[in-house]
Structure 1
Amino acid sequence: MTWVKTSKKKFYLHDDESLLDGLLRTGHDIEYQCREGYCGSCRVRCITNSHPVEYPFPPLAMIEEDEILPCCCRVQGVIHINHEPIIT
């Protein structure tokens, strides 16, 4: 089971649920478009994580070392993210 902590709440992901879908299900306001790692509009900052964040395929969107793409990343264990929009 994967637990997600944000400034808004703590929740778990359902089996085979993406981080993006979990955030949307729990009322977080997350920007997204492609859902496949191409656009990068869903990127959030990863504050801490108990397991490495993985991607089934390398995303094409440019992200910083402390950022993840909730639409296509795979998370396990416990992860703490800043879900507020990243301003560049």
Structure 2
Amino acid sequence: MTTATVLLRQTGKQLCCDQAHASLLDLLEAHQVAVEFQCRSGYCGACRMGLLRGQVSYQQPPLAFIKRGDILPCCCLPTEDIELDV
């Protein structure tokens, strides 16, 4: 993964995601962004959020159902600059 900018729509905050982050959830937690989660492996779906712009890549296929426009930050990383509905 290259460095990507993560824009949080609701606050306008921009975060830098790089190789130091194991997942998008790790990045969000590092910046004290409140995200509900249970598993960290794509199983439960509690961390589901809207992806408004950009692309992510999953480290493993999520087992929880995700609809188009949603992502599970517990098991993905951005592949380019993204915007989240957070």
Q: Which residue of 1 aligns with 2:4?
A: 2
Letter in 2 for 1:11: L
Q: Which residue of 2 aligns with 1:76?
A: 79
Greater strand fraction, Structure 1 or Structure 2: 2
CA-atom RMSD in angstroms: 1.2
Output aligned runs, 1:39-78, within 5 Å: 39-49=44-54, 52-78=55-81
After the TM superposition, list the runs of 4 or more consecutive aligned residues in structure 1 that deviate by more than 2 angstroms: none
* Cα deviation digits, residues 35-77 of structure 1 (max 9, x gap): 000000011100001xx32212211101111000001012122
The equivalent position to 2:42 in structure 1, one of 37, 41, 45, is 37
Identity %: 38
Q: If the length of structure 1 is used for normalisation, what is the TM-score?
A: 0.84
The equivalent position to 1:28 in structure 2, one of 33, 42, 45, is 33
The whole-number CA distance in structure 2 between the counterparts of 1:61 and 1:33 is 12
Note the residue ranges of structure 2 that are not aligned, 5 or more in a row.
none
Q: Which residue of 1 aligns with 2:19?
A: 15
* Cα deviation digits, residues 11-35 of structure 1 (max 9, x gap): 1013141110111111211001100
- Are the aligned partners of 2:49 and 2:71 in contact in 1 as well (CA < 8 Å)? yes
Note the residue ranges of structure 1 that are not aligned, 5 or more in a row.
84-88
